[in-house]
């Protein structure tokens, strides 16, 4: 029995290390070339925590094998830092303050309406530019005295009853904007806005990348149903949804990066990527840019609050010409996402 238990533990240990290594590779392999690797990127946190647990397990048993797991954790330290950070408080002055928030249709589908809370929060905190994702324009408004420059992008759909889309509000003039069009049908959107901040133009890229169509009850079914033929069928359908989302986000990311390739202005990309920091999507959009959370964040970077509150899928990325002076996230307003906020210095 003891030998059998040892073989089981050895297998779990080897699987944990192998899974972690595949998760390290996921951001660098185009899913169109080998999509299964992306699943390891999506589950990076699981592999990371499992290896951390095994380090503690081997230490308690006084086995030197903890060194193997620790070495592989340290090899991917930069990837762990994309999810958890510690930054000393920074009181530097800033030139601009931005935010992005997936409002979850202002909770209208749950019989509520958070529009007034959102408006009050934005007015109180005096942001320069804010992106509101999954906004129902017929169900709410943002103070035009505080944010005189506003643009709503409506999803081009005949069944868009309440004017669903994304809204950007700004204290500063929007000099130019353009919708980023994909070559496939989708309920997700992207656009860029050139905003003049006291003589300096910054290109804000508003993103809401492909959703999976998976809701919290889908995850609950996945862990609750019995392991029978129905479960196999359900699990296969679940995997197909994930795969479809991954591949479409890859195509959308390619379109966005091509549009931004020759931008004459510094870029800030913000919004809901629907993907983790260990994804090909994130890696491509972050290329030659910095991540506000990595530079100035604190604690666990979770932004997706349901059903498992440990995923970071909302971001503020920025070009090297800018300097991030603070980053925070708040769940003060009810949604399935946290709001992400950052401040920046503009080079003079």
Task: Quick: pLDDT tens for 278-323.
Answer: 999 999 999 999 999 999 999 989 999 877 678 999 999 999 999 9
**What residue ranges do the domains of the chain occupy?**
2-80, 96-214+240-345
Strand, helix or coil for residue 103: coil
Lowest mean pLDDT among 23-37, 184-198, 201-215, 229-243: 229-243
Closest CA to 177 of 198, 210, 206: 206
Q: Per-residue confidence at 242, pLDDT binned at 50, 70, 90?
A: confident
At 92, list the tokens: 């530097």
Q: List alpha helices for the chain, DSSP H.
A: 2-25, 31-34, 36-42, 44-60, 66-75, 77-80, 115-125, 216-224, 229-260, 280-286, 292-296
- The pLDDT score that the predictor gives to residue 91 is 65
Comparison of pLDDT for 71 and 156, the residue scoring more: 71
**Domain 96-214+240-345 in CATH: superfamily?**
Endonuclease/exonuclease/phosphatase (3.60.10.10)
- Confidence category of residue 1, pLDDT binned at 50, 70, 90: very low
147 and 122 in contact (C-beta within 8 Å)?
A: yes
What does pLDDT average to over the chain?
A: 90
Who's near 139: CB < 8 A, 6+ residues apart?
105, 106, 108, 113, 115, 162
pLDDT at 194 over 90: yes
Q: Which of these ranges, 5-9, 82-86, 203-207, 333-337, has the smallest mean pLDDT?
A: 5-9
In our burial notation (b when 16+ CB lie closer than 10 A, e otherwise), range 256-278 reads: beebbeeeebbbbbbbbbbbbbb
The closest alpha carbon to 326, from 77, 96, 81, 80, belongs to: 96
Q: What gap in Å lies between CA 110 and CA 63, rounded to an integer?
A: 52
């Amino acid at each position: 029995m003891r030998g059998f238990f040892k073989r089981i533990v050895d297998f779990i240990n080897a699987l944990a290390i192998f899974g972690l290594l595949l998760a390290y590779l996921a951001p660098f392999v185009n899913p169109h070339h080998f999509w299964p690797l992306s699943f390891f990127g999506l589950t990076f946190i699981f592999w990371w925590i499992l290896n951390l647990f095994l380090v503690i397990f081997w230490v308690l048993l006084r086995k030197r094998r903890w060194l193997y797991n620790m070495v592989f954790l340290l090899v991917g330290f930069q990837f762990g830092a994309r999810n958890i950070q510690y930054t000393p408080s920074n009181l530097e002055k800033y030139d601009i303050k931005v935010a992005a928030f997936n409002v979850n249709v202002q909770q209208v589908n749950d019989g509520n309406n958070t529009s007034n809370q959102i408006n009050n929060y934005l007015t109180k905190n005096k942001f320069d530019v804010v992106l509101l994702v999954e906004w129902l324009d017929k169900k709410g408004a943002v103070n035009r005295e505080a944010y005189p420059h506003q643009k709503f992008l409506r999803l081009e759909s005949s069944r868009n009853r309440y004017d669903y889309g994304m809204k950007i509000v700004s204290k500063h003039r929007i000099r130019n904007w353009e919708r980023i069009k994909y070559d496939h049908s989708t309920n997700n959107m992207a656009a860029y806005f050139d905003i003049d901040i006291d003589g300096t133009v910054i290109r804000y890229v508003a993103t809401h990348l492909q959703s999976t169509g998976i809701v919290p009850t889908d995850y609950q079914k996945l862990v609750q149903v019995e392991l029978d033929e129905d479960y196999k069928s359900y699990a296969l359908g679940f995997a197909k949804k994930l795969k479809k989302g991954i591949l479409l986000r890859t195509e959308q990311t390619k379109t966005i990066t091509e549009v931004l390739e020759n931008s004459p202005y510094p870029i800030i990309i913000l919004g809901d990527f629907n993907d983790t920091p260990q994804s090909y999507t994130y890696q491509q959009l972050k290329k030659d840019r910095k991540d506000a959370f990595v530079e100035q964040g604190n604690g666990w970077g979770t932004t997706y609050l349901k059903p498992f509150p440990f995923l970071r899928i909302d971001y503020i990325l920025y070009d090297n010409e800018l300097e991030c002076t603070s980053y925070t996230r708040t769940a003060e307003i009810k949604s399935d996402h946290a709001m992400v906020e950052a401040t920046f210095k503009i080079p003079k």
